[in-house]
């Protein structure tokens, strides 16, 4: 099961496989043609409240992960969609955040592809 993560603003690549946007909001200034998103699972993204609380503050990362994993328990059907897509071939989880280390795609990747 190959699950990669990538900023949605990066150029799409052949190795991306199925490109899945996991943000609640569409990325600013990016056209649908340029983004080449195959599936937009906005409901798998952190809640607006959690996103605003976290505000991509690295000091809140550990707590964010715990809270987000808790939220995901009620989105098991969406996690199943990701698992099924990943079982069929490579997937790339797309996110808009500038921080490539502290974002929801990192949490989802760890759930789908545990080390």
Per residue in 2-42, pLDDT (tens digit) is: 999 999 999 999 999 999 999 999 999 999 999 999 999 99
- The whole-number pLDDT of residue 113 equals 81
Orientation of helix 61-72 relative to helix 104-112, angle to 10°: 60
Q: Delimit the domains of the chain by residue range.
A: 3-112
Using CB atoms within 10 A of its CB, is residue 115 exposed (0-12), middle (13-18) or buried (19+)? exposed
Q: pLDDT band at residue 1, thresholds of 50, 70 and 90?
A: confident
* Tally of CA atoms within 13 A in the half-sphere of 102 that contains its CB: 14
Mean pLDDT of 62-91: 96
**Residue 74: alpha-carbon gap to chain centroid:** 16
Percent of the chain with pLDDT over 70: 98
- The whole-number pLDDT of residue 5 equals 97
Which residues does residue 39 pair with via DSSP β-bridges, in sequence order?
20
Mean pLDDT of 93-98: 96
How far is 5 from 20, CA to CA, in rounded Å? 9
Question: What 8-state DSSP symbol labels residue 19?
Answer: E
Tell me phi and psi for residue 64, to 5 degrees.
Answer: -60, -45
Question: Residue 21 in contact with residue 39, Cβ under 8 Å?
Answer: yes
H-assigned helices in 28-75: 32-35, 48-54, 61-72
């Amino acid at each position: 099961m190959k699950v990669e993560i990538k900023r949605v603003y990066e150029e799409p690549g052949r190795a991306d496989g199925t490109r899945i946007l996991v943000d609640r909001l569409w990325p600013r200034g990016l056209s649908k043609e340029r983004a080449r998103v195959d599936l937009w699972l906005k409901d798998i993204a952190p809640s607006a409240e959690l996103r605003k609380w976290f505000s991509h503050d690295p000091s809140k990362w550990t707590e964010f992960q715990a809270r987000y994993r808790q939220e995901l328990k009620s989105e098991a059907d969406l996690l199943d969609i990701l698992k099924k897509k990943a079982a069929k071939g490579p997937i790339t989880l797309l996110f808009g955040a500038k921080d490539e280390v502290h974002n929801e795609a990192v949490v989802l990747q760890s759930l789908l592809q545990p080390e």
